[in-house]
Amino acid sequence: MRHRLLDFFEELERRTFDLLATTPILESHSGAFSIPRSLKFVPDLFRDEDGLPLVNTQETNYRYLSSAYSKNDVDVILRLGVLRLTSLEFLEDLAVFIHSRPKEFRNMPDTWHSRLSAVLTILLDENLLIRTKISRLKIVPIRNGRWVSPSSTKLLFPNQSCLLVVPNGIEVSEIHPDATKDQYRKDFLKKLGARPFQPHRVCEIIVNTHRMAEFCAQTHATKDLVAHMEFMYKADWTNGGSEDFWFASETGSYTKGSEMYMDSKAPFSATKYFANQRPTFSFLHQDYYKIENEQWKDWLVNHAHVSDIPRLVYPVLRAPFTISNDIQFLLAHYPVTELLLLLKYYWNRYSTWIIPDGVHDKYESWRTSRQSLKERIGSLHVQCLEGKMDRLNQTFLPISSLSFDFNIPFSFLDIPEPNDPAWSYLRHLGVSTQPGVNVFIKSLKRLKETTPSLEGVSLLYKEIYGAISTDFELVR
């Protein structure tokens, strides 16, 4: 009898719970009554300091069980069919909140963001799926005002000095300083992979970004491309190799630094020579000139391969190379003497493509290119004194030490200030610039083109004989 009675009440209890589970008897956060199985109980982990759900929106209010119920009733409530909110469900609700109400999410109180960070820090250790979902949420504020997901970028803690700001357009973001004031948020960001601010690391990322074959300068704002170079300049980055960067031009096109020019008031500048053909030659966009100091311009020349003077060769970053179209343009519009003046004024910058530098000499392509370039320039016909024209490598520098009379038609260059020591560079292009047996050998070769006097030939051989002691190998 007792067992039957017990069975009766157990069955009654089961039926009662089944009935209640399908009856709208429980209050949701919205205040409406719902059937238990349609509600979710929010564990303490997913509540704020006031005991309210962290994700407290119009959508979740109808699905979350009211917080008014006592914790002592939880077991009974769960028996009615209410389910606990899982970590995945919490993250799904959070994702909807962030996506549908981004402004509201971002403007939540600092205490709320602190609590959320503490919760997410715990969830990161649950499993890979949870960690992946968290990393895809746009929950990290960065310095430029945007919010990003940890999976979309490399995160850096803010630079406390504020002298360097990570530019846009690269896969690294500087966290907003406000997000690091709270320890929970800071710990969460660190667990997401945020690293200390290191200028050299940002520079490496900029280099790698511009190096990528799929990098498309057209998709980047000009101000971002400017910011890339400005950051590297302020970080004292130096180009130890042949890194080449994308630049925006004044015409709206995009070109690598090794093909870009910058305006300059210096003598023999690209600005001067290409003034009437600027669309043909790429010049920097005006935004690059907003940084007004000479160090910035020097850095662009020395480390970004931008040039303020006509480029002698193409390409400039590798061999083999040949004389550039830019110099061909100059020669088509100016006398060869103009090129000689240009080389003289900037010999320290041009010489690397003409004479051995101790760096590239071991490469056959460099040696061959240099020799071809010297022969090309040396073969140019240049104005000489007395109105004559001759190949550059057959000429003499018109200085007193090279004044002699063998009744042979020497070609003396018609150049300004011939006694300027800076003209000595011409010897690398085949010009005779100082006395020596090579001068007389060159003179001897010219005999084939003339009918010299016996006296002149005798004097010439006498000079050669006298120079044997110093240049015996050359004479032999």
Q: Which residues contact 262 (CB under 8 A, 6 or more apart)?
A: 270, 283, 284, 288, 297, 300, 301, 306, 307, 308
- For 38, 410, 437, 455, the CA distances from 447, given in Å and listed in that order, are 110, 10, 16, 13
Calculate mean pLDDT across residues 118-145.
95
More confident residue, 468 or 246: 246
**Per residue in 180-235, pLDDT tens?**
999 999 999 999 999 999 999 999 999 999 998 888 777 888 999 999 999 999 99
> Could you tell me if residue 344 is inside a domain?
yes
Residue 352 domain-assigned (yes or no): yes
What pLDDT, in 10s, does the model give residues 195-207? 999 999 999 999 9
403 and 350 in a single domain? The answer is: no
Of 285, 304, 323, which closes a domain?
304
Do 297 and 329 lie in one domain? The reply is: no
Q: pLDDT above 90 covers what percent of the chain?
A: 61
Instruction: Quote the mean pLDDT of the chain.
Output: 87
- Higher-scoring residue by pLDDT: 41, 455: 41
Question: Final residue of a domain: which of 318, 349, 378?
Answer: 378
Residue 168 is assigned to a structural domain of this protein: no
Instruction: Indicate if the pLDDT at residue 415 is higher than 60.
Output: yes
- Give the mean pLDDT of 5-28: 64
Say if residue 470 is in the same domain as residue 421.
yes
The answer on 343 and 327 residing in a single domain is: yes
Identify whether residues 228 and 265 lie together within a single domain: yes
Distance (Å, rounded) from C-alpha 82 to C-alpha 107? Answer: 32
Same domain, 391 and 368: no
Query: 31-48: string of b/e by CB count within 10 Å (b at 16+)?
Result: eeebbbeebbbbeeebbb
Within this chain, do residues 254 and 326 fall inside the same structural domain, yes or no? Answer: no
Domain that holds residue 374: 310-378
Q: How far apart are CA 194 and CA 232, in angstroms?
A: 21
**Do 222 and 270 have their domain in common?**
yes
Predicted confidence band of residue 140 (pLDDT cuts 50, 70, 90): very high
Q: Report if residue 191 sits inside a domain.
A: no
Indicate whether 324 belongs to any domain: yes
Residues 364 and 409 in one domain: no
- In-domain check, residue 142: no
Residue 294: inside a domain, yes or no? yes
Q: 421 and 448 in one domain?
A: yes
Which pLDDT band, with edges at 50, 70 and 90, does 1 fall under? Answer: very low
Can you say how many angstroms the Cα of residue 249 is from the centroid of all Cα atoms in its chain? 16
Domain termination site, one of 378, 397, 415: 378
With a CB cutoff of 8 Å and minimum separation 6, the contacts of 400 are 419
What tokens does 59 get? 């959508």
| Residue at 464 is within a domain | yes
Query: Do 466 and 406 belong to one domain?
Result: yes
Helix (H) or strand (E) holding 147, with range, is: strand 147-148
Domains identified in the chain, total number: 3
* pLDDT for 455: 59
Answer yes or no: is pLDDT of 274 > 80: yes
Do 397 and 472 lie in a common domain?
A: yes
Q: Are 399 and 355 in contact (CB under 8 A)?
A: no
| pLDDT tens-digit map of 360-405 | 888 999 999 999 999 999 999 999 988 889 999 988 888 765 455 5
pLDDT at 457: 60
Q: 45: pLDDT confidence band, cut at 50, 70 and 90?
A: very high
